[in-house]
Structure 1
């Protein structure tokens, strides 16, 4: 008896591969379904469960074909006849598309209202609140099967390319394929509210964020630093808005209650400061040290930050009683944003400033090509500085601080440590060094989450191995 059935085994497996269910074959051949299932397991064929049976791969292929026909406006009856399934199975395919069910025509004509052409799906209305619809997901699946790219699909659906790409990436299955029904279900699950806040649910992430904020990182710097430190761990990524929400919107359990500093954010400024109306106009009086060293004469590699060695400098002037003669020399490398600071406890005349600058430059031999300064009189003896160090000094235009953006930003950060009115005669060199080290080890958004210290070290390593 066993030999009788073994002779039909190849025929049974071929029918299964063709899409016929085990139950149908059992009834037609008068043999046990368990025997057919055992043969399928031995042949490595996976059968789909449910009343319709058949090979799982075939069922999935038919389901994709059914979704394609739904998108073309076919009725349930026509799809059932075309694929050899009952109308209930086709209806379940429609239900899996979520909101797609609302687009069905009622009555004898059946079908869908708007999917006769993919080009009719996109309305062109974009902006806040315009979510991807189930009809658009069907169109995305159809166009992907036809080999369209994300940008080409966006043009067909009148959508932003980033919207389509994001939809495909976050809704695709494990094997990389995109299924409209699966995508609709995932979208429904993502819309569920309320959601647990990431900074409340992830204690490890919360501790790191609080630690960085205590180091005077801005929320934007925190977000980019996390992506730099944990590039492959999405659980350790958080958006800038989420940090602001945790600082200001939440009540009990907000991040502000855990910070060790009085100000949650570094900046107390509420409005941007407009550029001076005097920008570009010549300054008063003749400044002989500026002649022949205007910023327009600075080499191009210094302007585009293409190579290291080009710096910006300035004085942070002290204040308070008996503190008007004190200052802080600040230098920042334009490419790596590496910072050097030196305290002037008494006197900020040109000779004193130039002598201290020579010392600072010699602390990093070979790392200085140019320095860009404002037109202050503290650099009147710039010629002697160039002779002593070989470093050329260029001067920005009057009332144009944006020509030295890195140094202006640095000076603002320095005021967190030494507010206006600070008498630098009362500040120790150790305090200045501590502030310098903290600034050099703070992640920068412009460096994609890296620190100035890390970037300068990488530059030095590249120079040695070149």
Structure 2
């Protein structure tokens, strides 16, 4: 997970709305949130063992009731029982749970640390920018009869991403890369299994696959692609909307990045368009679009969402955002640009001839659609 998420889980986090603190998310209980395999006894099972043992049930009977091996119950009672009144051994389930959690959290030394020769070999290959998978395959091929020299590539990745790791350092021929892996990451990026992924919003979302036309089909005007360009410190933003057929750009001035601000700004900017030029909006899954149902209802359109990590599904918008970085560079506070300045930038880009439009300007094509009484489906790109 990211460092920010870890800090929020450990220390809690304030909840902001419109720049004001409206609540506080409590830190997670460290031992309670870890997903434990069912092969280990749970606290509920230990409580049941204590009740049945106190009631005089045999270890075999307890094992049958819990669906466990009798040897598991025997070891549990021997390991976690202490002398009580009359020197009789008493099983303490809560103490047993604490001890079990402590045993699971023990840090075992890595083979890379205990085997100096193996560690030096891996360090040498990493300095030559070999991937962990390549190193793993090479170790198996070079030492076929020495299993102690074998490593799974995941073990190498874990060693690299460990804090203050000696394997996490630039290589001689690529000193500008922070770490040996090609990604250049110094920490692991979170991966969530597909069946455990939660939807971005509680409200039902329309997928881009439900839009009704192919992403390459631009024959129908009025379908827009939207996104935000972010300013310095992720504290400011400008909304961008691009019409798919004519590549016409509309910039949206935002006083904040919350969903309420974006909702009002999009309504004010797009509400004056005729229905034939405002049929749908396709956005990424950013939290700023949490009010998408209200936007869809107020404008009388559908709001569609791209797949995660798929910016090419909004190709026109992504390309235009690249053009906008000439006017709004990264690392600049975007709050300093007035709505009038945004309109001037929008006007300049819309009047720039585009090769994809056959040398015509987006503004001219959009003006033709506005002045046409029927808004014909003319293919312009």
TM-score of the superposition, structure 1-length normalised? Answer: 0.37
Higher helix share: 1
Highest Rg: 1 or 2? 1
Higher strand share: 2
